[in-house]
Amino acid sequence: MNNIYTVADNIITSLGFTSKENFDNLKLGKSGIKQTVDPKITQIPMYCSRVESERLNAEFKKISNPDNYTRLEKMMILSISDSLQQTTIDPSKQDTLFVFSSVKGNIDLIEDENHPFDKERINLWAISDQVCKFFNSSVKPVFISNACISGVTAIIVGTEYLKKGKYKNVIVCGGDVISEFTPSGFQSFKAVSDHPCKPFDANRTGITLGEGVGTIIFSSDKEIVQEANPVIFRGGANTNDANHISGPSRTGDGLYYAIRNTLTEAGKTNTEIDYISGHGTATPYNDEMESKAIKWAELDHVPVNSLKSYWGHTLGAAGIIECIAGIHSIKENCLIETAGYSEHGVSEPINVIKEFNETEVKNFLKTASGFGGSNAAAYFSELNAD
């Protein structure tokens, strides 16, 4: 089978506009979560992680007219542009596929009746149309909206095309923006934390929302790989709890099956994983369920973190930017601490990373879970891991 190489990546969040800027901030333990009282977003003071609008428009002006694109489209176009600059890939060629993930897309348009865009622009497929047009791609894109696992699903689906040899390169890009829509909904669920979220902690009370975009370019073409020991994608799987549309399984069965199927796909066992990039939304139920699935998979000794306490829960971006952080953990041989975690608060004794440490990282597992009962996992490792 072809190796699936990661050849470039980008993250745009409150912590920066490149993967390096973001990862450097994570290493320093710097969180992008701040309190906001912006009435366009929330009726009560709320913690969240937002992309700086002035910087977004200033950066975007360097490549195109910001008035022609929505906030999410600008972030996606910038993120893909930065990723492409790290490679020799020509995105307009027929051998390159775009795969997108977003939960709510241009949802900010629904709240603004005077927006300058076409009525159709609210549709998710309109985003991929705009972005593909910007990069002169005529290949029909793929768009995934799978709640909070969207980003991991996009990686799994996109890389499948490289395995089959149908395309040479796949650009996976996912993201979501914060407007009033999502915060008000999670507030109505009483699921928003009144402090920056505390994944896996005894005092966790809910999520902190975030916005952002992530891009990973995968390729099966060895010629374009610049590193001697690149990080490769090994496999992944999606499953469903079949339990409840808005509450996770009590046993962790769905996520456990996703991990098990991912290891089978990757041709790996649970003994080789050096790090788990958890979902860790910091809701009482999610983190508890996740600890059970990790224990069930006999991975409770493996260092695990959640990066939601730096970036917030960025929905369609989360799976992608967390995988990028994992890729950089392998490249820089270090593990990021779980900000906000101090007192163990899940029933299983999982090994939550308490402080930044430098250690050898060759393999990591990403997990994700979401509304609709969905779960996903993905396995990455460095080429010379075995």
Site for other proteins, rule CB under 8 A? 43, 103-105, 107, 110-111, 122-125, 140, 142-147, 153, 157, 160, 164, 180-181, 184-189, 237-246, 253-254, 257, 261, 370-374
**Nearest CB to other proteins, comparing residues 160 and 272:** 160
> What is the torsional sign of CA 196, 283, 342, 31?
negative
User: CA-CA distance, 284 to 315, in Å (whole number)?
Assistant: 18
**CA 213 to CA 74: how far, in whole Å?**
10
SS3 325: helix
Q: Could you give the CA distance from residue 300 to residue 187 in angstroms, rounded to a whole number? A: 32
User: What's the count of helices (H) and strands (E) in the chain, helices before strands?
Assistant: 11, 16
Instruction: Write phi, then psi, for 367 (nearest 5 degrees).
Output: -125, 155
**Amino acid, res. 374:** S
Cβ proximity to other proteins, 109 vs 365, nearer residue: 109
What is the smallest separation between the CB atom of 352 and other proteins, expressed in angstroms?
Answer: 27
CB of 104 to other proteins, least distance (A): 8
Amino acid symbol at 91? P
Cα–Cα distance measured from residue 53 to residue 325, given in angstroms and rounded to the nearest whole number: 23
Nearer to other proteins, 164 or 301 (CB): 164
Q: Residue 101 Cβ, how far from other proteins at the closest point, in Å? A: 10
Which of 241, 322 has the CB closer to other proteins?
241
Whether 211 and 106 have beta carbons less than 8 Å apart is answered as: no
- Closer residue to other proteins in complex, CB, 43/269: 43
- Contact (CB, 8 A) for 152 and 376: yes
Q: How far apart are CA 285 and CA 306, in angstroms?
A: 15
The nearest distance, CB 83 to other proteins, in angstroms, is: 22
The distance of closest approach from Cβ of residue 234 to other proteins in the complex, given in angstroms and rounded to an integer, is 15
Report the nearest approach of other proteins to the CB of residue 13 (Å).
22
Tokens of 43: 């009726």
> Per DSSP, what are the bridge partners of residue 268?
none
CB of 254 to other proteins, least distance (A): 6
Helices (H), 316-373: 318-332
Smallest distance from other proteins to CB 248, Å:
11
Residue closer to other proteins, measured from CB, 153 or 314: 153
Give which of 236, 98, 103, 64 is closest to 173, Cα–Cα: 98
Q: Which is nearer to other proteins, 196 or 373 (CB)?
A: 373
> Cα(181)–Cα(253) distance, rounded to whole angstroms?
31
Using an 8 Å Cβ cutoff, are 183 and 209 in contact?
yes
Nearest residue (CB) to other proteins, 125 versus 349: 125
